[in-house]
């Protein structure tokens, strides 16, 4: 936020406005997705309610819930990050940022309509089919075009050759995404359930986790500057990534079980990132307001590494597979780690405007409820592992766990609503924001 004199009210800079708009769109879908989460949690306790919903029963809403969390909440704020990387949040392109965000949100809205109408490819997180599939790929391509034009318009800006080449390579990779999503959503390309494997292998888990590690290592370069004298830890981190990638390549895909020591020992190499990732992030300059969410995402990162590996071990995976235990694991990954990471990125992009995520009540409500949700689902999954009927046939213990999950989910919904209301203030009334910031700080 910028203020020329002490008496002059602050207003959002172009960069902050683009970030605030991306935050608003992401939060809008988060609130909607969480509200749908509360609805489906209710339907699992009172299945008879499905009869009141006509054709829009649990099976249709669950698609809406998962896809909005993924393509709305966890995707749109990252578009805000890309705006910054490619200079799309600066003049002369900044004025188009809102339009691009609306195109994405409109395509997602059409997706919701199509899923509720019963159209789906049948593939988890790739439910796009028919007109929705075409529109969503077109929306992704619109974002790509916007980033590319911004990048080339800003090419005269001072920038090292390595940074320029990195951004260009990023654009080429991003270009593939709309086409890959379009193609992969085709049920004829590969079946929704892989008939060859009983589930993930050590190699495939390691591969996808290393992609996340690579993203985490690249992220700070788009957000801030390095501290002086930080090159050693940075070099070590990248070397570890290269070493693990070599292990991954050497593993191949011959062994498709999770029972061989080679599979789970190699996956265990990810535990090196427990101390390394916090050390790596400590070598960059961060806005003071990011502290709370930076710590949160790093704690969730640790929890994800440990619980993810333990879940993969022989005996444990066999017990939890296809139970509520894996719903709990999805929550560690998405509601805990990814959500905290995204909010951290947004706070950094928003600068002073990051106050919208720093209300103590919504921060703790979110974190405690996510932890509660995970514990409840792990308990349900543990029982389900012994008795598969546990979560299907209503009983006292099962209902108690599901009611408590409903309460935790409702509080998460309230926390997200808190952020959306504040983001609406930030987007529409920048003058009032400065007064709020002052009040928040003195409170």
**By CB under 6 A, which span of 65-73, 79-87, 266-274, 434-442 interacts with ligand HEM?**
65-73
End-to-end CA distance of the chain: 20
CB neighbour list of residue 359: distance below 8 Å, 6 or more residues apart: 418, 422, 440
Binding-site member from 18, 20, 34, 94 for ligand HEM (CB under 6 A): 34
Taking the least distance from each CB to ligand HEM, the nearer of 21 and 323 is: 323
Distances (CA, A) of 296 to 93, 131, 247, 324, 344: 34, 39, 30, 24, 9
Binding-site member from 25, 119, 258, 405 for ligand HEM (CB under 6 A): 405
Q: Assess 413 for contact with ligand HEM (CB under 6 A).
A: yes
Q: Assess 412 for contact with ligand HEM (CB under 6 A).
A: yes
For the CB of residue 39, give the shortest distance to ligand HEM in the complex, in Å: 8
Beta pairing partners, 11:
2
Are 38 and 409 in contact, with CB atoms under 8 Å apart? yes
**By CB under 6 A, which span of 38-46, 259-267, 293-301, 352-360 interacts with ligand HEM?**
38-46
Q: Which residue is nearest to ligand HEM (CB)?
A: 409
Taking the least distance from each CB to ligand HEM, the nearer of 153 and 321 is: 321
**By CB under 6 A, which span of 40-48, 176-184, 211-219, 252-260 interacts with ligand HEM?**
40-48
Are 145 and 175 in contact, with CB atoms under 8 Å apart? no
For the CB of residue 356, give the shortest distance to ligand HEM in the complex, in Å: 17
CB neighbour list of residue 274: distance below 8 Å, 6 or more residues apart: 302, 305, 306
Are 46 and 92 in contact, with CB atoms under 8 Å apart? no
Are 270 and 208 in contact, with CB atoms under 8 Å apart? no
Helix axes 202-223, 339-350, angle to 10 degrees: 10
Taking the least distance from each CB to ligand HEM, the nearer of 36 and 210 is: 36
Distances (CA, A) of 439 to 288, 433, 443: 18, 10, 6
Taking the least distance from each CB to ligand HEM, the nearer of 21 and 34 is: 34
Q: Assess 123 for contact with ligand HEM (CB under 6 A).
A: no
Whose tokens are 């700070």? That residue is 220
| CA-based nearest residue to 308, from 334, 322, 329, 338 | 329
Binding-site member from 409, 415, 420, 423 for ligand HEM (CB under 6 A): 409
Q: Each residue of 367-402: b (16+ CB within 10 Å) or e?
A: bebbbbbbebbbbbbbbbbeeeebbeeeeeebeebb
Q: Assess 65 for contact with ligand HEM (CB under 6 A).
A: yes
| CA-based nearest residue to 354, from 8, 5, 15, 9 | 15
Cα 223 to Cα 219: distance, rounded to the nearest angstrom: 7
Task: List, as one string, the DSSP characters of 231-257.
Answer: HHHHHHHHHHHHHHHHHHHHHTTS--S
Are 74 and 65 in contact, with CB atoms under 8 Å apart? no
Q: Assess 69 for contact with ligand HEM (CB under 6 A).
A: yes
Are 153 and 194 in contact, with CB atoms under 8 Å apart? no
**By CB under 6 A, which span of 3-11, 36-44, 111-119, 140-148 interacts with ligand HEM?**
36-44
Binding-site member from 67, 263, 323, 339 for ligand HEM (CB under 6 A): 339
For the CB of residue 383, give the shortest distance to ligand HEM in the complex, in Å: 14
For the CB of residue 341, give the shortest distance to ligand HEM in the complex, in Å: 12
Q: Which of residues 91-110 bind ligand HEM (CB under 6 A)?
A: none
Taking the least distance from each CB to ligand HEM, the nearer of 34 and 129 is: 34
Q: x/- string (CB under 6 A) for ligand HEM, residues 160-199?
A: ----------------------------------------
For residue 420, how many other CB atoms are within 10 A of its CB? Answer: 20
For the CB of residue 398, give the shortest distance to ligand HEM in the complex, in Å: 11
Taking the least distance from each CB to ligand HEM, the nearer of 202 and 409 is: 409
Taking the least distance from each CB to ligand HEM, the nearer of 37 and 351 is: 37
For the CB of residue 192, give the shortest distance to ligand HEM in the complex, in Å: 13
Q: Is the four-CA dihedral 380, 381, 384, 390 of positive or negative sign? A: positive
Q: Assess 406 for contact with ligand HEM (CB under 6 A).
A: yes
Q: Assess 41 for contact with ligand HEM (CB under 6 A).
A: yes
3-state class (DSSP) for residue 430:
helix
Are 113 and 34 in contact, with CB atoms under 8 Å apart? no
Q: Which of residues 297-336 bind ligand HEM (CB under 6 A)?
A: 326-327, 330, 334-335
Q: Assess 367 for contact with ligand HEM (CB under 6 A).
A: no
How many residues at the interface with ligand HEM, by CB under 6 A?
22
**Residue numbers of the site for ligand HEM (CB under 6 A)?**
34, 37-38, 40-41, 44, 62, 65-66, 69, 73, 326-327, 330, 334-335, 339, 405-406, 409, 412-413
């Amino acid at each position: 936020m910028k203020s020329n004199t002490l008496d002059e009210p602050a207003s959002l800079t172009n960069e902050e406005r683009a970030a605030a708009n991306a935050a608003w769109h992401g939060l809008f879908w988060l609130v909607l997705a969480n509200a749908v989460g509360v609805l489906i949690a209710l339907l699992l306790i009172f299945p008879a309610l499905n009869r009141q919903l006509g054709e829009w029963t649990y099976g249709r809403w669950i698609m809406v819930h998962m896809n909005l969390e993924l393509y709305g909440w966890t995707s749109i704020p990252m578009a805000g990050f890309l705006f910054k990387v490619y200079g799309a949040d600066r003049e002369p392109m900044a004025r188009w940022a809102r339009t691009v965000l609306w195109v994405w949100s409109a395509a997602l809205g059409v997706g919701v309509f199509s899923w509720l109408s019963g159209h789906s490819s049948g593939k988890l997180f790739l439910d796009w089919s028919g007109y929705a599939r075409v529109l969503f790929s077109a929306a992704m391509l619109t974002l790509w075009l916007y980033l590319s034009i911004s990048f080339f318009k800003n090419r005269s800006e001072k920038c090292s050759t390595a940074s320029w080449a990195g951004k260009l390579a990023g654009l080429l990779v991003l270009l593939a995404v709309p086409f890959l999503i379009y193609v992969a959503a085709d049920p004829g390309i590969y079946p929704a359930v892989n008939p060859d494997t009983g589930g993930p292998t050590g190699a495939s888990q390691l591969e996808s986790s290393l992609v996340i590690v690579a993203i985490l290592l690249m992220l700070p370069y788009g957000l801030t500057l390095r501290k002086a004298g930080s090159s050693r830890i940075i070099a070590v981190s990248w070397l570890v990534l290269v070493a693990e990638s070599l292990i991954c390549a050497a593993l191949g895909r011959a062994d498709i079980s999770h029972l061989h020591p080679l599979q789970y020992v190699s996956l265990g190499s990810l535990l090196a990132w427990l101390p390394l990732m916090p050390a790596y992030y400590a070598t960059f300059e961060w806005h003071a307001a990011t502290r709370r969410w930076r710590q949160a995402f790093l704690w969730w990162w640790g929890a994800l590494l440990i619980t993810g590996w333990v879940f993969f071990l022989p005996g444990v995976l066999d017990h939890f597979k296809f139970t509520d235990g894996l719903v709990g694991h999805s929550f560690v990954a998405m509601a805990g780690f990814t959500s905290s990471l995204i909010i951290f990125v947004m706070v950094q992009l928003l600068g002073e405007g990051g106050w919208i995520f720093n209300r103590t009540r919504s921060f703790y409500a979110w974190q405690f409820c996510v932890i509660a949700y995970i514990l409840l689902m792990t308990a349900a999954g543990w029982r389900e592992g012994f008795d598969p009927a546990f979560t299907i046939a209503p009983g006292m213990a099962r209902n108690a766990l599901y009611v408590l999950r409903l309460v935790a989910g409702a509080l998460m919904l309230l926390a997200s609503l808190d952020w959306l209301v504040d983001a609406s203030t930030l987007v529409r009334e920048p003058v009032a924001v400065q007064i709020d910031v002052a009040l928040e700080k003195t409170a």
